[in-house]
A and B are shown apart, each in its own frame.
Chain A
Amino acid sequence: MKIHIPTPLRVYAGKQDSVSVNATTVGEALGQLTEEHPDLKKHLYSEDGKLRAFVNVYLNDEDIRYLPAKDSTPVSEADSLSIIPSIAGGAPVMEEATALPELSTAEMARYSRHLILPEVGMEGQQRLKAAKVLCVGTGGLGAPLAFYLAAAGIGTLGLVDFDVVDESNLQRQIIHSTKDVGRPKIDSAADKLSALNPHMKIVKHETMLTSQNALDIIKDYDIVADGTDNFPTRYLVNDACVLSGKPNAYGSIFRFEGQASVFATEEGPCYRCLYPEPPPPGLVPSCAEGGVLGILPGLVGIIQATEVIKLILGKGDPLIGRLLLVDSLGMKFRELKLRKNPECPVCGTNPTVTKLIDYDQFCGIQPAAAPAAVLNGIEQITPMDLKRRLDAKDDVFVLDVREPYEFQIASMGGHLIPLNDLPKRVSELDASREIVVHCKMGGRSQKAAEFLKQNGFTKVQNLAGGINAWSAEIDPTVPKY
């Protein structure tokens, strides 16, 4: 097979524009080339034997870095390898205009353990100070992420969140404390971060990230760290990062498992290269529905923070083109190779997504409509109406179809028959009375009500939103879970 030599390297290859080798794999071919022309070696490989960052080798039209079998990829006589140094540059705008910021004496003391690391040193620490990082979300992933980035000396940290601290957040969102329950997360987070590091600038974006504001918010930052917990925002962050050319340090968690990667860099894939389409709504439960081990976001958020720091320092091997899978129960870390999909709708060669779209619609999420009054023939009663009826001492029988352990967490005084037991215990109910069925959020109780109706109960209603809606709208002493 032939190996094409680019003009600058021909002097090291006997002035030939191509070299013929007799090889069965890519690795063998390159081995023969450098054996025959040893001077080429230092131009192609760095001291640790890796292909130099600016040297690309293509097998026909494929970058060998992205071949699944890498160096072991078989080759035939008809194939050809091309060595292609990269071509890039730019007008003298940013790097020469803005010198790195100086560190104060207090900062030098604070970052001394960084300063003595050759990989960070004074210049690296100054780079961290110059850096602007946007944390989307200050929840499970955002909490450790922002905390460690602040400690490390990131100069400007932007926070995006519009939520308030809830008791159920404290099991994992360590940036918030018990006294912050009910406060906006962004204020609570900013307090902790400036207490930890008064040298940094914190920019609060107390808003939901939307297609309307995302590009405008992101444009002032160098790197985005995605700590979101839902698919519409995840796709929004990805697309906004690709469109504005900002790397995205991505992480996500579910129950005992997590993922991390770096998306939307120039050379690497994006989230859509990995997942072109979102899962159908409801297929992947959120942490609120599926649960999550509290420690897990700590683990994954800190991997994201590590990647952010590495990108700023330009050191190490970033998780570009690699998806790290974290299994906390097995305590196993696995890695999947990712490649940039040339057909990717947003970062591919002919992108179809060239501006931000409606991500709720993309993810199949219906806009929140007024709750239906009747669903599948079952009348839906609001917590407010139920309260009125109970206050008026109307004869209403409240049936709770949750599991006994849920009943232990919170109860509104209903008669407990778990949904699965209902068929065999239906005789406990009086068909002549009005029955309001409830569960946690309204789904299981709807099923129960439909079952009762089929079995001759005519006066059955479903409590819309379940006991959680009751807790939110009527009785806050009933714990939400």
Chain B
Amino acid sequence: MLKLSEQVYSAMRTHGEETYPHECCGVLLGRSEGDVNCVEDAVRAGNTRTDSAHNRYNIAPQELVKIQRQGRERGLDIVGFYHSHPDHPAQWSKTDFAEAHWLGCSYVITSVQKGRATVTNSFLLTGSGEDDKAFLDEALEVERCSVAAL
């Protein structure tokens, strides 16, 4: 399950509306507690795909290193990622799957139709490696996490 606050939930969706018709992307910081990924913060990342940003996203590893470090300083881990699908359903694509390597993390996708965020879904990347990895539909619970948003 993915738990996140109303603020984080709407921050991801607003991000997708802002970058429409391009894809947005970002990192979810929080804690992994058993089967639950609990998100404390959504950090926006620059989409480094300038070529086909309407249907591709990519987060520069350098930026990821930085976000991970900032998270560490706040006692938070990377527990997932989010991106938008402009004018496409909130379902993972072949590319999303091929390029997903963070096993145990949640991949959140928001469909942005004509500039408005519609459906938001989360998928958990399961498995033990590249050979047996799989995306599982994951429940998404919008509520207050164990630490109140500051």
Contact = CB atoms under 8 A, between A and B. Distances in A.
Given A89-B95, A96-B94, A6 B102 contact: yes
Contacts of A55: 101
Contacts of B54: 91, 93
Interface string A4-30: 101110010000010000000000000
A218 B19 CA distance: 24
Contact of B93 (A7, A58, A90): A90
Given A92-B94, A266-B48, A87 B25 contact: yes
Interface string A118-150: 000000000000000000000000000000000
A172 to B, nearest CB: 33
B85 A61 contact: no
A402 B44 CA distance: 67
Contact of A63 (B48, B62, B72, B125): B62
B129 A87 contact: no
Interface string A200-218: 0000000000000000000
B99 A95 contact: no
Nearest to B101: A85
A7 B104 contact: yes
Contacts of B58: 86-88, 266
B55 A94 contact: yes
Interface residues of B, number: 48
Given A6-B102, A58-B65, A96 B77 contact: no
Nearest to A42: B129
B129 A245 contact: no
A35 to B, nearest CB: 20
B57 A89 contact: yes
Contacts of A84: 61, 64-65, 68
B65 A61 contact: yes
A54 B59 CA distance: 12
Given A93-B88, A245-B51, A266-B48, A86 B79 contact: no
Nearest to B64: A84
Contacts of B140: none
Interface in A56-89: 56, 58, 61, 63, 82, 84-89
A82 B65 contact: yes
Interface of B: 23, 25, 27, 32, 48-52, 54-59, 61-62, 64-66, 68-69, 72, 77-79, 81, 83, 85-86, 88, 91-97, 99-105, 107, 125, 129
Given A4-B72, A88-B57, A89-B99, 5 more contacts: A82-B68, A88-B56, A91-B23, A91-B86, A266-B49
Interface of A: 4, 6-8, 11, 17, 42-43, 54-56, 58, 61, 63, 82, 84-96, 242-246, 266
Nearest 3 pairs between A and B by C-beta?
Answer: A245-B51, A89-B96, A92-B93
20 contacts: A4-B68, A7-B79, A7-B104, A8-B102, A8-B103, A54-B99, A54-B101, A61-B66, A63-B61, A63-B62, A82-B65, A84-B64, A84-B65, A87-B27, A87-B102, A90-B55, A91-B86, A93-B54, A95-B93, A246-B51
